[in-house]
Structure 1
Amino acid sequence: MRTTPRRLLAAMAALTTALLASACGGGDDGGGRAASGELTMMVPLFGTAPDPKGEVHQAVEKVVGKKLKITWVPNAEYGDKTNVVLASDDIPQVMVVQGKTAAFVQAAQAGAFWELTDKLDRYPNLKAKSEQAELNASINGKVFGIYRVRPLLRSAVLYRKDWLDRLGLKVPETVDELYEVAKAFTEKDPDGNGEKDTYGLIIPKWPTPVFCSASPYNVIETWFGAPNCYGDRGGRLVPAFDTEEFYTANRWLKKMVDEGLVNPDFATLDSGKWNDPFVQGKGGIIIDVNVRATQLYGLLKEQDPDGYGDKLAMGGNLKRSDGQKFSYPFDGYNGFLAVSKQSVRTEAELDEVLKALDRLATKEGQTLLANGIEGRNFKLENGYDVPIDDDDPAVKTINNDVDFAFVQLGTWATIGMGVYESMPTSEAERENLRLRKELAELDLQTAVHNPALPIVSPTYVSRGATLDPIVSDARVKYLAGEITEEQLRAEVKRWYDSGGAQVVAEITDLRAELGAGGN
């Protein structure tokens, strides 16, 4: 359920009415586009909008075989713009949809977008890369877009390697070993300065109040055997916080907080400054995604160009005390490309659009979107992407257009996981890339998937903004010692009484209709 945001819900009734009207009627202008040589799109933008006459735009048009008319919307405004466009009578042929928002779910169910459930297998480059990820991206089992691939397993634990080495410790494999490392990082002067000024685990204030949001709390709870957001308990889906494993995990973490093994400002530390204590030598453990290693290497290199490679170690998901392992997976997708029924009126027009997107999803197309133009802004060395002429203004423009704009159209390649990975600048970074893949493959075997991801509860759509903070806030207060476990359990009951019981009933019933198994 964590991919269903909670914005602008008050406008949904009016929006649905508008969508039904715009999906089923309207002028002929939009329908004529699909048969023409033009493809209209709306795409989020993170930098400067590309010039339609620029090298990358022209190259993408050549691959697609159509003229592109792209509306670039700054990412900070994209959610609001999406809602406005969905309620209008001018929806572009293809939209990047960033998640199963309330507006998009209601739009799709009102018939504003093509259902692609049984259509994508006809297009070799649009076929699902992962059945699990495609299911996760669906709305009650129906596919309304071409999902943008992300790794299904990327959770990891990052450590100050120099601290481990100085104290004669190894990368932990169990939660008990993690506790011991955190304790040693706090009490045994791992930086050798003769002062007790370090701690083990670094946790920031999580930016979203959703109770299952890939936070360190969720990862730890899964290690202890709690479900990933929702889990099957006797044929009924229940939220993770309604299991005893949830409380066991949080008692363990609270012990660490009480003993000073966690940063004292865990309830307020800005998530944008998560790296700072690690790099500054204040804290030594981060539980997050494996690609955070790239950020940390870059920061450590600025601080110590010669010795930075010896300051970072990485491990995978941890076993609990009895040796059982439960690994935390991710959704496997990050939004999707949806095709409008308002602008693409017939099956023949849909086929034209999907063929164009299929060409964009070739190796050639995805390389262009995620790496750029070979020979202009990058070259290949031993299968790696190596930058060319970074100081050339024309090359800087290409890099901007790729890194901050066109990469958003990548369906299986993106920055950080392009067709070609960036050339590691040291042996330590090269080894880390190898280790990421090894740990991800290993942990995927014990991944605990969220069986509720494909399911959209109407009550959650309408009440999620009220429900989500109840348990997530109470969990932080419990860890900080502001409330007792009994009071935490009372907040779980309040979640049920505030609409959570209806959410659970709806997703359980919808899951039964889908005939889906659970974890």
Structure 2
Amino acid sequence: MSAPRRRRLIAGVLTLTAALTASACSGGGAPAVDGNTLTVMSKLFGTAPDPEGEMQQAVEKFLGKKLQVTWVPNAEYTDKLNVTLASDKIPQVMVVDPKLPAFVNAAQAGAFWDLTDKLDKYPNLKPMDQRTALNASVNGKIYGIYRMRPQLRSAMVIRKDWLEKLDLKLPETVDDLYNIAKAFAEKDPDGNGKKDTYGLIIPKWPGNYATNSPYDTLETWFGAPNGWGERNGKLVPGFDTPEFLEANRFLKKMVGEGLVNPDFATLDSAKWNEPFFHGKGGMIIDVNVRSRQVFDLFRDDGDKNYGDKVAMVGNLKRSDGKKFSLPFTGYLDVLAISRQSVPTEQDLDNVLKALDKLGSKEGQNLVMNGIEGRNYQVVDNTASLINETDPVVRTVQDNADDAFVQLGFKGDTDIGGIAYPRTPSGQPYKDMIKLQNELMAEDLKTAVFNPALPVISPTAVSRGAQIDTIIPDARIKYLSGTFTEEQLKAEIKRWYDSGGTQVAAEVNDLVSKLGN
């Protein structure tokens, strides 16, 4: 979240909390409850579905209810959420980041149902993984049904054809990463006779510290905590460790030697794949599904040998052979239920029953994969795509991909969920998915989990706009050469002096109380 947006959120928090408390307690202005209609507000990553379209009708027929969805483009969602929370027209169900300050304040003020002890009676809503349920909680309280995602997605994609041209092996350690990056930058891997390539591609990262950026991943590989970790009996932020500094010295050396794209501080993350596709850079540290995104670029360009262009490896070992893998939270957003528009226990039961039905295997396959027989068929327990070139059927698939998948909260079977994993046509895709699952299983053995994920520090909520960007900004300046290491250390101290000391104390206290 950008700093200006965070400031707008925090600025209205006291007024918002008071308004939410009043509406939660009195129900003032709440819309009439209609047991035959489910109202939802959700993020949108493409074009909003037609309310009369095939997907909407299919979901409504399955649920036996009318479905009214307010689709909000992802880039505008936080602002829209803030406005909606302060209104008297809150939808019954909202897709929301449970750690967002505005939501945390609203939930703790009583604006959303506390579902901690209510989900066990609904067989399809019970948490499938207790660690993930705790990660998605607010200090141990569950205010939403978490949307399941892989617990480990970190990986690195590499130009396979460049490796083969330079007779290089796949990397296993951070030293291999450096050596391959150096070869890609200096040994003309594209064969054009010019020194116009580099090894590692990094974009401008929109998130704060510990947001699964390439920097966070590399720091974890060097042994730094993932967000927060224990040192001398206390939890400390990962950036206050020697391993954090060592990792950034390593990356600064790569930047200084021209092994990283020179525009790493400004490259639009939406264009992250382009240097890889166009033969400018050879490696990307990100999530494993990026391997299939770059496959798409080569395939759609007419390259019949697209499978020969991309290789992938999992998390890398440190120089001493020790391995520390970066896991993810295991969830992405939650489905929270408003107490304003769902005022009674009976109303809540009605909504939970609808979500429980949606949480069945049939329901999750529908919202995550689309309409069986229309745009996929079941082959070897996977959703094998069909009619991919039919523009009408493609619309059904796009609606599932960009919109209705937001109502998918049970994941596919490849990550322990219940929906069929989707399989595009083309053997390279099938091989890459198989490799992806093998790497995830292996790297989970060395995953470094963040023990502070379940808790929310009050000071982090109230002072986040002032302190959240201190470390990522200082890191970029250090890597770019405008900050010395001493100046980077001074910024770490400034984080503590600006409220971080209190954040650390609160995090330690809250974590110690989990489960009590």
**Normalization by structure 2: what TM-score?**
0.93
What residue number does 1:276 align with?
A: 274
- Pairwise CA distance, 1:11: 0.4
Identity %: 62
2:405 alignment partner in structure 1: 407
Whole-angstrom distance in 2 between the partners of 1:337 and 1:73: 15
1:351 counterpart residue number: 349
Work out whether 1:473 is the aligned partner of 2:473.
yes
Report the equivalent of 2:74: 75
Asked if the contact 2:98–2:143 (Cα under 8 Å) also holds between the matched residues in 1, the reply is no
Q: 1:314 to 1:29 in 2, by over 3 A?
A: closer
1:144 aligns with 2:134: no
Q: Unaligned regions of 5+ residues in structure 1, if any?
A: none
* 2:298 corresponding residue in structure 1: 300
* Alpha-carbon offset, residue 359 of structure 1: 0.4
Any idea what the Cα deviations from partners look like across 1:453-509, whole Å, max 9, x if unmatched?
111111111211221221111111111221211111011111111111111111111
Contact 2:29 2:89 in 1 (8 A): no
**Is 247-256 or 338-347 further displaced after alignment?**
338-347
| Among candidates 353, 374, 377, match of residue 375 of structure 2 | 377
Q: 1:400 to 1:318 in 2, by over 3 A?
A: closer
SS of corresponding position for 1:8: helix
Is the counterpart of residue 431 in structure 1 residue 431 in structure 2?
yes
Q: Displacement of 1:388 after TM fit?
A: 4.2
Tell me the distance in 1 between the aligned counterparts of 2:394 and 2:243. 51
Q: Which residue of 2 aligns with 1:25?
A: 26
| Cα distance in 1 for residues equivalent to 2:390 and 2:47 | 17
Query: What's the C-alpha RMSD, in Å, of the aligned pairs?
Result: 2.3
Partners of 1:492 and 1:340 in 2: CA distance? 39
| Counterpart Cα distance in 2 of 1:475 and 1:165 | 34
Cα 1:198/1:29, change in 2 over 3 Å: closer
For residues 71 and 281 of structure 2, what CA distance do their matches in structure 1 show? 40
Whether contact under 8 Å (1:105, 1:139) holds in the other structure is: yes
Distance 1:472 1:16 in 2: 30
Q: Residue type matched to 1:281 in 2? A: G
Q: Quick one: distance in 1 between partners of 2:427 and 2:27?
A: 60
Aligned residue number for residue 124 of structure 2: 125
Measured after TM superposition, the shift of residue 423 of structure 1 is 3.2
Structure 1 residues 52 and 192: CA distance shift in structure 2, 3 A: closer
Aligned to 2:239, the other structure's residue is in SS state helix
Residue 8 of structure 1 corresponds to 9
CA contact (8 A) 1:99 1:334 kept: no
Aligned amino acid, residue 444 of structure 1: L
CA drift at 1:31: 6.4
The alpha carbon displacement at 1:29 in A equals 6.3
Q: Which AA in structure 2 matches 1:14?
A: T
Give me the whole-angstrom Cα distance separating, in 1, the residues matched to 2:379 and 2:459.
53
For residues 414-459 of structure 1, give each alpha carbon's deviation from its aligned partner in whole angstroms, at most 9, with x where no partner exists: 8x98933443433322211101000001111111111121111111
Q: Does 1:484 align with 2:484?
A: yes
| More deviation, 298-307/109-118 | 298-307
Q: What's the CA shift string for 1:185-212, capped at 9, x where partnerless? A: 122222233332222111111123x122
CA distance in 2, matches of 1:464, 1:234: 26
CA contact (8 A) 1:297 1:308 kept: yes
Structure-to-structure mapping, 1:494-509, within 5 angstroms = 494-509=494-509
Mapping 1:14-413, distance limit 5 Å: 14-26=15-27, 30=31, 32-33=33-34, 36-208=35-207, 210-303=208-301, 305-390=303-388, 394-413=392-411
Return the alpha-carbon distance in structure 2 between the equivalents of residues 404 and 186 of structure 1.
37
- What do residues 368-391 of structure 1 show as CA deviations (whole Å, max 9, x unaligned)? 101111122333334443444456
C-alpha displacement of 1:413: 3.6
Could you say if the C-alpha distance between residues 394 and 261 of structure 1 is closer, same or farther in structure 2, counting changes exceeding 3 Å? Answer: closer
Distance 1:53 1:271 in 2: 34
2:426 aligned with 1:449: no
CA shift, 1:75, in A, is 3.1
Distance 2:29 2:194 in 1: 74
Instruction: Look up the SS of the partner of 2:24 in the other structure.
Output: helix
Cα distance in 2 between the residues matched to 1:184 and 1:258: 15
Aligned residues between the structures: 511
Q: Give, in whole Å, the separation in 2 of the partners of 1:430 and 1:194.
A: 35
Distance 1:102 1:29, change over 3 A: closer
Would you say the 8 A contact 1:31–1:345 is kept in 2?
no
TM-aligned CA distance change 1:64 to 1:279, over 3 Å: same
AA paired with 2:14? A
Could you tell me how far apart the structure 1 residues matched to 2:324 and 2:193 are?
38
CA pair 327-395 structure 1, distance change in 2 beyond 3 A: same
Cα separation, 1, equivalents of 2:69 and 2:297? 35
Is the contact between residue 475 and residue 488 of structure 2 (CA under 8 Å) also seen in structure 1? Answer: yes
Aligned partners of 2:75 and 2:199: how far apart in 1?
A: 34
Q: CA deviation at 1:20?
A: 0.7
In 2, the alpha carbon distance for the partners of 1:99 and 1:375 equals 36
The change in CA–CA distance for 1:304 and 1:73 in structure 2 (over 3 A counts) is closer
Residue 93 of structure 1: CA displacement?
Answer: 1.6
The worse-fitting range, judged by mean Cα deviation, of 380-389 and 181-190 is 380-389
Residues 362 and 181 of structure 1, relative CA distance in 2, 3 Å threshold: same
Task: Mark the CA change 1:426 to 1:58 in structure 2 (over 3 Å): closer, same or farther.
Answer: closer
Segments of structure 2 that go 5 or more residues without pairing to the other structure are none
SS of the aligned residue for 2:446 comes to coil
Cα pair distance change 1:82/1:313, threshold 3 Å: same
| 1:17 shift after superposition | 0.6
What is the CA–CA distance in structure 1 between the aligned matches of 2:483 and 2:70, rounded to whole Å?
49
SS of the equivalent of 2:99 reads: coil
